[in-house]
Amino acid sequence: MSQKTVLSIGQCRPDTAAIGYYLKSQFDVNVLTADLPDQAMAVLEANPVDLVMINRKLDADGSDGLEILTRIRGGSKSAVPVMLVSNYADWQQKAVEMGAVYGFGKAELNRPETRTRLAAILEA
């Protein structure tokens, strides 16, 4: 199995560290990060990415993470799996309705079901 690449968008520094550590400890992954929408799209276009994880509200500017999902789904990387990072089930549902796979909240990071969701993509 070859190393996968995850793009994490809009997390605050502590969450970036926690999510990155979790992903690297559980899977053979390289984690890229982006703080803002345009930066995220540039990283996505310049790199092969196996999973995109978008914070519900971007820490750097407070913008809506679902707007990035819309941009991804309308662009050349539309087939890349996307997960929303949010503890709110209603936001997860909105993201799924927009083409994301069901994600997880930061409070759920170490739960078995989170690993199962991630493994479906990162161990495929």
Q: What is the pLDDT of residue 67?
A: 95
As a whole number, mean pLDDT of residues 106-122 equals 95
Residue 77, phi then psi, degrees to nearest 5: -105, 30
Q: Domain boundaries in the chain?
A: 4-122
Answer yes or no: is pLDDT of 2 > 90: no
Instruction: Give the mean model confidence (pLDDT) for residues 13-22.
Output: 96
* Inter-residue contact 50 to 82 (CB < 8 Å): no
Give me the CATH topology for the region 4-122.
Rossmann fold (3.40.50)
Side-chain half-sphere CA neighbours of 120 within 13 A = 11
Q: Tell me: the pLDDT tens digits for 66-100?
A: 999 999 999 888 899 999 999 999 999 999 999 99
Asked if the model's pLDDT at residue 51 lies above 70, the reply is: yes
pLDDT at 1 over 90: no
What local confidence, expressed as pLDDT, does residue 69 receive?
96
Angle at 48 between CA 34 and CA 115, to 5 degrees: 70
Q: CB within 8 A of 22, min separation 6: which ones?
A: 109, 110
